[in-house]
Copies of this chain bind each other. A is one copy, B any other.
Amino acid sequence: MTAPVRIAVAGLGTVGAAAVGILRSSRELVAARCGRPVDVVAVSARDRNRSRGVDLSGCAWYDDAAAMAAEADVEIVLELIGGEDGIARAVCERATAAGRHVVTANKALLAHRGRELALAAEETGAVIACEAAVAGGVPVVKALREGFAGNRISRVYGILNGTCNYILSTMRQTGRGFDEVLAEAQRLGYAEADPGFDIDGIDTAHKLAVLAAIAFGCEIDFSGIHVEGIRQVTADDIGYAEELGYRIKLLGIASDTGDGIEQRVHPCMVPVDAPLAHVEGVFNAVVAEGDAAGIGMLEGRGAGAGPTASAVVADVIDIVRGARLPLFTVPVSQLRPARTVPIDRRTGPYYVRLTVVDRPGVIADISAALRDEQVSVESLIQRARAPEDAVPVVLTLHETREDAVQRALARIAAIDMVVKPPCMIRMESP
C-alpha cells in the first residue's frame, strides 16, 4: 500500500468532529476501499481547548484555518466551518489556489460563490466536492452527476430541510399550530434559536441552487430563486390538505422549462399517494426526472453529524480513488446560462384559503373576481356557519398560470367581506 493520503480539517463542530471520528475509527475500512490509508494530520478550529470527544493526537493545530489550507502539507482540505463568506471562503480559495482538493458541506458558500470557486479550482486542477452540502447522508449529488449522467434531467425537486419537514409532519400528526410546534422543535434541538434560515426557506434555496446547477449543468443562480417559507402554514391548512388527499411539504423545485430554469422554494400540497408525501420528520428526499431513467427518488437523513460526516468521508474516498469531476458536472466554461423563469409563469393547480364574513353574497363576489381573471374553480368548501362572523372558505383552482391567480387574489383581497389576506398554497403533482 502506498503512502497515506494527508488531510486537513477546518472546523471541528459536530460535523468536523464526526468526520475525524469516522476517518480514525474506520481507518482500515477506508484504506481498503481507497487502496490507500487516509490520515488527518492537521486541524483548525476557533477554540483549541474545547473537548470534542475525538482523538486529535498527532494532528498539527492551526489557529488560522486559511493559513492551514494554504500551507499544510496535505492533499485534501475539509471545509466544515460554514457561512457564505469570511473564513470558510478563504479556506476554499487558498486550498484550491495551492492545488489542494476541497471537500465542503457549505451550501451557502456554494450558492453564493460556487462559480468563482469552481473556476479557481479548475485553474489548478483541484477538485471541489460537495455531497455533504445537500441532503446530508443521502448521495444525491452523486446520483445526479453520475448515476443520471446518461439522462437529460427535466426536473429535480425535494424536501431539503429537515427542520421544516419535522414541523410540518408534527403539525399534521398532532393537529397543533405552527408556533407551538416550532417551540417544541427548538427545545428538541431540531430548530435553531433563530430559526429564520430554515423556516423562511433560505437553507432549502441554497441547496436547490446547488442541485439545479449540478442537474442541468447551468450557472448557479441563487438570486433567481423564488423563496417562501412555512410561517404562514396553519393547522387549518394542514387539516384541509388531509381532507383533499394531500400533505403540505416545503419543496425546492427546479425545472428545465425549455425557456430557462424555473427555481422555486415554497410550501406545496403533494398528493398523499406520491412518495414524497411519506417522507416525514427530519428526513430529506430528492426526486429527479430523467429522459431515460424516468423518476428516481433518494431518501434519508438530511442533517446531523453522522449523516453529514458520512457524505464528507464519501467525497474524500472518491477523491482518493481518483474522481476528478467538475463541481457542477461540466467545466465552468460549458455551463448553460441560468436564464431564470419567473414564478409568474408557473402553471398548476392552487389551494386558496380565505377568511370571510359569513354573509350572503360573499361567494358570489369571490366567484366574480375569479371569473374576471379566467380562473376556474375545482372545489369550494365553506363548512362553518357563523352569520356575520369570520369563517374560512377553501377553494381549489384548476391548472392556471400564477400571474392570473395573483391578480384574482388581489381582487379578492380587496372585497370588504374578505377580512384577512388570502392564503395560497401551490398544488404539485410529482
Residues of A within 8 A of B (CB): 18, 22, 26, 29-30, 32-33, 131, 136-139, 142-143, 146-152, 217, 273, 275, 278-279, 290-301, 304, 306-307, 309-314, 316-318, 321-325, 329-330, 334
Q: Which residues of B contact A143 (CB under 8 A)?
A: 139, 142-143, 147, 298
Q: Which residues of B contact A26 (CB under 8 A)?
A: 150, 152
**Are B146 and A310 neighbours in the complex by a CB distance under 8 Å?**
no
Q: Which residues of B contact A136 (CB under 8 A)?
A: 293
Q: Can you identify 20 A-B contacts, CB atoms within 8 angstroms?
A: A18-B292, A22-B292, A26-B152, A33-B149, A33-B217, A138-B293, A139-B143, A142-B146, A142-B147, A147-B311, A150-B310, A150-B314, A290-B310, A292-B313, A294-B304, A295-B301, A296-B298, A297-B298, A322-B322, A322-B323
Considering residues A142, A143, A217, A312, which has the most beta carbons from chain B within 10 angstroms of its beta carbon?
A143
Q: Which residues of B contact A147 (CB under 8 A)?
A: 131, 138-139, 142-143, 311, 314
**Are A314 and B149 neighbours in the complex by a CB distance under 8 Å?**
yes
Kindly list the 5 A-B residue pairs having the minimum CB-CB distance in the complex, ordered from nearest.
Answer: A139-B147, A150-B313, A137-B293, A296-B300, A292-B310
Give the CA-CA distance A425 to B297 in the complex, in Å: 28
Give the CA-CA distance A49 to B137 in the complex, in Å: 49
Q: Which residue on B lies nearest to A330, using beta carbons?
A: B32
Given A306-B292, A311-B293, do A139 and B148 touch, yes or no (CB 8 Å)? yes
Main secondary structure of the interface of A (DSSP, over half): mixed
Give the CA-CA distance A120 to B307 in the complex, in Å: 36
Shortest distance between the CB of A90 and any CB in chain B (Å):
27
**Are A294 and B299 neighbours in the complex by a CB distance under 8 Å?**
no
**Are B33 and A317 neighbours in the complex by a CB distance under 8 Å?**
no
Q: Which residue on B lies nearest to A316, using beta carbons?
A: B150
**Are B314 and A294 neighbours in the complex by a CB distance under 8 Å?**
no
Shortest distance between the CB of A312 and any CB in chain B (Å):
8
Q: Which residues of B contact A278 (CB under 8 A)?
A: 273, 275, 278
Given A300-B294, A324-B322, do A314 and B139 touch, yes or no (CB 8 Å)? no
Q: Which residue on B lies nearest to A151, using beta carbons?
A: B310
Q: Which residues of B contact A304 (CB under 8 A)?
A: 294
**Are A32 and B137 neighbours in the complex by a CB distance under 8 Å?**
no
Count this chain's copies in the assembly: 2
Shortest distance between the CB of A377 and any CB in chain B (Å):
31
Q: Which residues of B contact A334 (CB under 8 A)?
A: 32
Q: Which residues of B contact A137 (CB under 8 A)?
A: 290, 292-294, 296
**Are A299 and B300 neighbours in the complex by a CB distance under 8 Å?**
no
Q: Which residues of B contact A290 (CB under 8 A)?
A: 137, 310
Q: Which residues of B contact A18 (CB under 8 A)?
A: 292
**Are B322 and A306 neighbours in the complex by a CB distance under 8 Å?**
no
Q: Which residues of B contact A329 (CB under 8 A)?
A: 33
Give the CA-CA distance A312 to B314 in the complex, in Å: 23
**Are B310 and A293 neighbours in the complex by a CB distance under 8 Å?**
yes
Give the CA-CA distance A275 to B276 in the complex, in Å: 10
Give the CA-CA distance A136 to B290 in the complex, in Å: 13
**Are A292 and B309 neighbours in the complex by a CB distance under 8 Å?**
yes
Shortest distance between the CB of A219 and any CB in chain B (Å):
15
Q: Which residue on B lies nearest to A318, using beta carbons?
A: B146
**Are B139 and A313 neighbours in the complex by a CB distance under 8 Å?**
no
Given A32-B330, A310-B151, do A321 and B321 touch, yes or no (CB 8 Å)? no
Q: A137-B290, A137-B293 are in contact. List 6 more A-B contacts (CB 8 A).
A: A32-B217, A33-B149, A149-B314, A149-B317, A150-B311, A150-B314
Q: Which residue on B lies nearest to A131, using beta carbons?
A: B147
**Are B318 and A293 neighbours in the complex by a CB distance under 8 Å?**
no
